Copies of this chain bind each other. A is one copy, B any other.
Amino acid sequence: MCTGLSFTTHDHYFGRNLDLEFSYHETVTVTPRRFPFDFRMQPSSKEHYAMIGMATVADGYPLYYDASNEAGLSMAGLNFPDNADYKPVDPERTNIAPFEFIPWILGSCASVEEAERALESVNLADIPFSEEYPQSPLHWIIADRERSLTVESVREGLKVYQNPYGVLTNNPTFDIQSFSLNDYMHLSPRQPRNSFAESLSFDAYSRGMGAIGLPGDLSSKSRFVRAVFTKMNSVCGESESESLSQFFQILGSVAQQRGCVLVEDDDKYEITIYSSCCNTDRGIYYYRTYENSQLSAVDMHREDLDSDALVTYPLVTGQQINFQN
């Protein structure tokens, strides 16, 4: 399904794997400050923070999968089937359609703290974008360089969780995902010590045995545990090159290879369509695709951010090979 990640070295990086069995013609999309957001149940936003991210542009509207704004706040929507429960419009609350959620937050908030306050009144209203683009069941990760939140609209209402991992996958709900980590607290990047029986001797026959028990399948709970372990134990230099590489290495630990996850109804396979990483301090959005492992990049500050027109870059999806001879 998907994995979202927030990671801070010298700069702050935010991105995700998009795992699906098909592609929606997504593009790297820059929304400048004066692109008009006409919210369905809220006043229009004529001027707002500029943002960059991955989006399908439909009828001139950027349906963002993940994005970062010029103030350093980021947000991604991840699949949340059977659990996402959007509500009827509630006149007492700030009604936001799920497809508007990323633009609304990133347009107006500069930090997780501001987003947290904005969320206090939010009702995620069951308003689809169009007949062609029906409602997607989603939950969200919102992050700046210091903190992350998880936002879930479930049967009981809107839940806003502190996310100390900077990682989000999919089902089950975030409270159960977090609780499940307790069963892995003994994992370690160090070699195991014998606590089984003093009188026996054991053979640590391979490096890496301290993490035996870490799940390796691609279901969302297993990816969550694995991504949290990899991220929390990550060791990385401060440079852009080191940071980017480490970020994509972490995402690689939960990438989906074609053939491992069969979607039976369609006889298709879920794969990691793209992996992205935005340097939120510099406004540069990097990505790679399943078939093209080279990083491509779009720098939002090379666009006219005071414009009112979207700028889109189609993905470079073919393998780009550097022949040395």
Contact = CB atoms under 8 A, between A and B. Distances in A.
Contact of A299 (B211, B217, B260, B323): B323
Contact of A294 (B172, B197, B228, B293): B293
Interface stretch (A100-108, A122-130, A133-141, A176-184): A176-184
A179 B176 contact: yes
Given A208-B260, A258-B236, A195 B191 contact: no
A206 B230 contact: no
Interface string A160-190: 0000110000111000100101111111111
Tell me the number of copies of this protein.
4
A124 to B, nearest CB: 21
A217 B217 contact: no
Contacts of A8: none
A259 B286 contact: no
B183 A221 contact: yes
Nearest to A189: B262
Which of A188, A250, A269 has the most chain B CB atoms closer than 10 A to its own CB? A188
Given A257-B234, A288-B293, A295-B322, A211 B205 contact: no
A22 interface: no
Contacts of A206: 1, 170-171, 219-221
A320 B320 CA distance: 10
Contacts of A322: 294-297, 316, 320
A186 B189 contact: no
Interface string A292-325: 1111111100110000000001001011111111
A190 B194 CA distance: 12
A261 interface: yes
A213 B217 contact: yes
B253 A255 contact: yes
Nearest to A181: B202
A195 B171 CA distance: 22
Interface string A207-238: 11111111111111111011011101111100
A82 B324 contact: no
A256 to B, nearest CB: 8
Contacts of A324: 28, 296-298, 313, 316
